[in-house]
Amino acid sequence: MSEPLQPSHGDYLRDESRRTGHAEQIVFPRSEEDVLAALAEARANRWPVTVQGARTGVAGGAVPEGGLILNLSRLTAIEAAGDTLRVEPGATLNAIRAATPPGYFFAPDPTETTASIGGMIACNSSGALSFLHGPTRNHVLGLRVALASGEVLDLRRGRDQARGRAATLGAWQGELPALPQPAVKNAAGYFTAPDMDLCDLFIGAEGTLGIVTAATLRLLPAPAAIVGLMMFLPSTAAVVDLVNALRAGRTASPAPLAALEYFDSRCLRFLQDRAAILASKGIAVPALPPGAACVYAEWHAPGAAAAEAAMLAAAEQLPDLGANPDACILADNPHELEKLKLFRHAVPELVNAEIDERRRQHPGIIKLGTDMSVPDDHLADVCALYERDLAATGLDHLIFGHIGANHLHVNILPRNADDYAAGRELYARWAAQIIAWGGSISAEHGIGKLKRDLFRQMAGEKAIADMRKLKQHLDPTGLLNPGTLLPAP
Ligand X SMILES: Cc1cc2nc3c(=O)[nH]c(=O)nc-3n(C[C@H](O)[C@H](O)[C@H](O)COP(=O)(O)OP(=O)(O)OC[C@H]3O[C@@H](n4cnc5c(N)ncnc54)[C@H](O)[C@@H]3O)c2cc1C
Q: Contacting ligand X (CB under 6 A), which of 56, 216, 370, 373?
A: 56
Q: Is 64 in the site for ligand X (CB under 6 A)?
A: no
Q: Is 125 in the site for ligand X (CB under 6 A)?
A: yes
How would you label 230-257 residue by residue, b for 16+ Cβ within 10 Å and e otherwise? bbbbbebebbbbbbeebbeeeeebbbbb
Q: Is 142 in the site for ligand X (CB under 6 A)?
A: no
> How do beta strands 49-52 and 68-71 pair?
parallel
How would you label 455-481 residue by residue, b for 16+ Cβ within 10 Å and e otherwise? bbebbeeebbebbeebbebbbeeebbb
Q: Contacting ligand X (CB under 6 A), which of 39, 69, 107, 112?
A: 112
CA distance 354 to 347: 11
Q: Is 271 in the site for ligand X (CB under 6 A)?
A: no
Q: Mind giving me the DSSP string for 77-118?
A: -EEEETTEEEE-TT-BHHHHHHHSPTTEE-----S-TT-BHH
Q: Residue of minimal CB distance from ligand X? A: 119
**Helices 461-474 and 452-459 meet at what angle, rounded to 10?**
110
Q: Contacting ligand X (CB under 6 A), which of 27, 36, 123, 231?
A: 123
Q: Is 57 in the site for ligand X (CB under 6 A)?
A: yes
Would you call 20 helix, strand, or coil by DSSP? strand
**Is the CB of 94 or the CB of 477 nearer to ligand X?**
94
**Is the CB of 13 or the CB of 225 nearer to ligand X?**
13
Give the footprint of ligand X on residues 159-218 (CB under 6 A). 206-207, 211-212
For residue 426, what are the CA distances in angstroms to 6, 301, 364, 443, 481? 39, 41, 18, 18, 29
For the CB of residue 254, give the shortest distance to ligand X in the complex, in Å: 27
Stretch that binds ligand X, among 106-114, 177-185, 383-391, 467-475 (CB under 6 A): 106-114
Q: Contacting ligand X (CB under 6 A), which of 216, 370, 440, 481?
A: 481
Q: Is 308 in the site for ligand X (CB under 6 A)?
A: no
For the CB of residue 398, give the shortest distance to ligand X in the complex, in Å: 14
Q: Is 16 in the site for ligand X (CB under 6 A)?
A: yes
Residues facing residue 158 across a β-bridge: none
Give the footprint of ligand X on residues 209-228 (CB under 6 A). 211-212
Backbone dihedral region for residue 342 (phi beyond 0: left; psi -120 to 50: alpha; all else: beta): alpha
Which parts of this chain interact with ligand X (CB under 6 A)? Answer: 15-16, 51-58, 61-62, 72, 89, 110-112, 115-116, 118-120, 122-123, 125-127, 206-207, 211-212, 348-349, 444-445, 481, 484
